[in-house]
């Protein structure tokens, strides 16, 4: 799985999920001059509509980081997808970018889905983080505030992605053909992440 190759960091706690901001920048992310156009957007605010240049800069830095885990074809596919599919592709990108999300999702959330489908209490995520902290000094150094914000943003990400309705984890309702791209690319882990059977 891809999560083992990522380093832990706490940036998902400070910048939010940035789904709407990402949507507004899709045409830039599809272009051949991504860096140039992103820098221009930070200065001119034509698409993001974020008043503060400093805040725009932070948002763009985070989106730029996520973009490193994609190819241009990802954004072409994203742009051609339905909104529910775009939300799942966004979830896919976040799991690829942030190891803490990947680990918490598979260590806690996916397991709970197959037990009773309720969102696990914060306690279970904290237990998982404590276990991870015993193996990684960067995680061990996280403050309670960083953990709380990370979990809050993670829950927001689940809702935006269509995997959480109220307090219930739910399998997304998209066309079966959507999953073919992940099967073709040997990324069955993402089907599992979305509570899909992987033997179809």
Long-range contacts at 118-121 (CB < 8 A, ≥ 24 apart) = 118/167, 118/168, 118/169, 119/155, 119/158, 119/164, 119/167, 119/168, 119/169
Q: Give burial (CB, 10 Å; 0-12/13-18/19+) of 68.
A: exposed
Helix or strand (DSSP H, E) at 190: helix 188-193
**The pTM of the whole model exceeds 0.85:** yes
Residue 2's pLDDT is 58
Cα–Cα distance for residue pair 154/157, rounded to 1 Å: 5
- 183 contacts: CB under 8 Å, gap ≥ 6: 191
Residue 8's pLDDT is 78
Domains of the chain: 2-193 (1.10.3540.10)
Residues of the chain with pLDDT under 50: none
Residue 198's pLDDT is 81
Residue 11's pLDDT is 63
Residue 10's pLDDT is 61
- The bridge status of strand 164-165 relative to strand 168-169 is antiparallel
Residue 5's pLDDT is 60
């Amino acid at each position: 799985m891809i999560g083992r190759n990522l380093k832990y960091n706490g940036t998902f706690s400070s910048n939010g999920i940035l789904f709407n901001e990402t949507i507004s920048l899709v045409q830039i992310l599809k272009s051949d001059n991504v860096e140039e156009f992103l820098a221009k957007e930070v200065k001119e605010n034509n698409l993001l509509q974020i008043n503060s240049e400093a805040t725009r800069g932070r948002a763009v830095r985070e989106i730029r980081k996520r973009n490193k885990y994609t190819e241009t074809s990802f954004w072409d596919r994203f742009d051609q997808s339905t909104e529910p599919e775009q939300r799942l592709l966004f979830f896919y990108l976040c799991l690829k970018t942030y190891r803490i999300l990947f680990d918490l999702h598979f260590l806690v959330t996916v397991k709970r889905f197959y037990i009773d489908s309720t969102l696990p209490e914060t306690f279970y995520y904290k237990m998982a983080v404590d276990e991870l902290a015993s193996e990684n000094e960067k995680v061990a150094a996280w403050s309670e505030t960083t953990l709380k914000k990370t979990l809050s943003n993670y829950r927001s990400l689940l809702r935006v992605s269509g995997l959480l309705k109220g307090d219930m984890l739910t399998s997304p309702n998209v066309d079966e053909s959507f999953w073919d791209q992940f099967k073709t690319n040997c990324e069955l882990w993402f089907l599992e992440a979305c509570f899909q059977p992987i033997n179809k």
